[in-house]
Amino acid sequence: MVLDDLRQYLIQMGIVEGATGWPCFIGYLPDDQDRAVALYLTGGMAADTLGHENELPTVQVRVRAGKFALQECESKWREIYNALDQARPGQLMPDPLDGYGAIEALATAPLVWYDEKLRCNMTQNYRIIKLRP
């Protein structure tokens, strides 16, 4: 559900899907897409309160652009980074982040590499505090 919520938030913010030209996939990234975003669960940590009132999942956001498209990839990565870094419950209606306490980037810069087709890739990991109902 966390990945669905993040995807919906990025869609509502106008960052992925629709007219953006950046499809967003959950749990995989098809090889036939040059410009694409993918969201992955990467584990997490145990609840940090005695009553287990929260969940602490971690996720990874991956951005891929075309061949040698470093600037395009970085621009989309930055747009997503800023949106998640500034995400606050109550910004949107309906709000896909209702019930989230925080989204925290685990680094200030992405991991960057080129795949076998020389497409630029960037990843960023996030820690999330999700309140249990």
Length of the chain: 133
pTM to 2 decimal places = 0.92
* Eight-class DSSP state of 117: T
CATH code, residues 2-131: 3.30.70.1700
Question: What is residue 15's predicted lDDT score, i.e. its pLDDT?
Answer: 98
Those residues with Cβ within 8 angstroms of residue 81's Cβ, 6 or more apart along the chain or in another chain: 105, 110, 124
- What residue ranges do the domains of the chain occupy? 2-131
Whether pLDDT at 133 is above 90: no
In terms of C-beta density within 10 A (0-12 exposed, 13-18 middle, 19 or more buried), how is residue 46 classed?
A: exposed
Contact by Cβ (8 Å): 7, 39: yes
Q: Residue 119 forms beta bridges with which residues?
A: 67
What digits encode the pLDDT tens for the residues 43-65?
A: 887 766 666 677 889 999 999 99
User: Letter for the amino acid at 125?
Assistant: N
Measuring CA to CA, which residue among 61, 73, 70 is closest to residue 7?
61
Average pLDDT of the chain is 92
Q: Residue 61 forms beta bridges with which residues?
A: 39, 124
Whether pLDDT at 107 is above 70: yes
Distance CA 12, CA 122 (A): 22
